[in-house]
């Protein structure tokens, strides 16, 4: 039995406004549909991204009024495709925003959403600090999208560094782990391929990771190299460093085969965790 279908990652450039982000994404989405993609995946902050020092300040627009959401729901309905919108910024409580991903069904309905859990708050080097939590409120719920194509676990960017989230999604039945991202160039060069392949291997799942590429308005640069990785850790497609459409054919039946070969999802055992100790005072 086969459940093969074509998946597309859209490798878009960060754009400062929602309208310019929509203009960036939609020709690529049309191209992906023309190529026969049944599932089209967009990066994190595909609806617009800008920085202000260490903070991210994407345009925050309600789902019902967002031009990219409207354009993609129309495309899904017209072309009969599933669309994983990696994320857009939507207004949250207290003047903050949510980094929200959406799953759009072929009838144009938003079938589910995921609010990014883990905030990108790091200090890479002097002058290279990032504080997503300065403007964004974290989510608190892992999300699995049930579709006729496959069961898809939705995560976003920095989530990639928290393997237990992916293990929980896989044990809940995820066959595909989606990792839409705007990974920085410096961390991407060091860790992007390794982490995506690791999440695929340790969970026996496909990883689909569309990543934005190029300079970010306001400062910074994102890595590109959108990936499709199979459950054995083989990279099926890599988007490189230019905008475009990344296509791969996948068969979710390979997930069951990989998990039979290495059944680590059911080999876990309870154990006593080590005592947590505070670091020694400096």
In the residue annotation, 9 being an active-site residue is answered as: no
Q: Which of 116, 132, 175, 211 is catalytic?
A: 116
Token couple for 41: 């995946």
Token couple for 4: 């093969």
CA distance 235 to 207: 9
How many other C-beta atoms can be found within 10 angstroms of the C-beta atom of residue 10?
30
Q: Which of 9, 24, 41, 44 is catalytic?
A: 44
Burial 118-151 (b: 16+ CB within 10 A, else e): bbbeeeeeeeeebbbeebbbebeebbbbebebbb
Token couple for 92: 């949250």
* Percentages of the chain per state (helix, strand, coil), in multiples of 5: 30, 30, 40
Helix (H), strand (E) at residue 249: strand 244-250
Q: Which of 132, 157, 175, 211 is catalytic?
A: 157
Beta strand 82-91 pairing with 97-104: antiparallel
* SS3 of residue 58 by DSSP: coil
* SS3 of residue 171 by DSSP: helix
In the residue annotation, 44 being an active-site residue is answered as: yes
In the residue annotation, 249 being an active-site residue is answered as: no
Positions annotated as catalytic residues are 44, 116, 157
């Amino acid at each position: 039995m086969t459940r093969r279908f074509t998946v597309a990652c859209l490798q878009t450039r960060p754009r400062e406004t929602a309208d310019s982000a929509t203009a960036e994404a939609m020709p690529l989405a049309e191209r992906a549909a023309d190529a026969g993609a049944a599932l089209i995946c967009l990066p994190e902050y595909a609806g617009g991204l800008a920085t202000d020092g260490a903070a991210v300040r994407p345009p925050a627009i309600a789902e019902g009024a967002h031009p990219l959401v409207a354009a993609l729901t129309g495309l899904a309905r017209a072309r009969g495709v599933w669309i994983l919108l990696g994320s857009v910024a939507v207004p949250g409580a207290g003047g903050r925003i949510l980094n929200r991903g959406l799953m759009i069904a072929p009838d144009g309905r938003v079938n589910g959403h995921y609010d990014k859990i883990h905030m990108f708050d790091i200090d890479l080097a002097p002058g290279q600090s990032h504080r997503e939590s300065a403007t964004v409120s974290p989510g608190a719920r892992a999300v699995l999208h049930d579709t006729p194509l496959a069961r898809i676990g939705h995560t976003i960017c920095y989530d990639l560094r928290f393997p237990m989230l992916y293990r929980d999604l896989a044990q809940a039945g995820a066959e595909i782990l989606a990792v839409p991202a705007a990974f920085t160039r410096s961390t991407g060069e060091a860790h992007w391929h390794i982490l995506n392949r690791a999440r695929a291997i340790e969970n026996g799942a496909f990883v689909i990771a569309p990543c934005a590429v190029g300079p970010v308005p306001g400062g910074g640069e994102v890595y590109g190299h959108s990936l499709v990785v199979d459950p054995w850790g083989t990279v099926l497609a890599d988007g490189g460093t230019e905008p475009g459409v990344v296509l791969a054919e996948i068969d979710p039946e390979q997930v069951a085969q990989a998990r039979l070969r290495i059944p680590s999802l059911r080999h876990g055992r309870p154990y006593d965790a080590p005592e947590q100790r505070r670091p020694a005072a400096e």
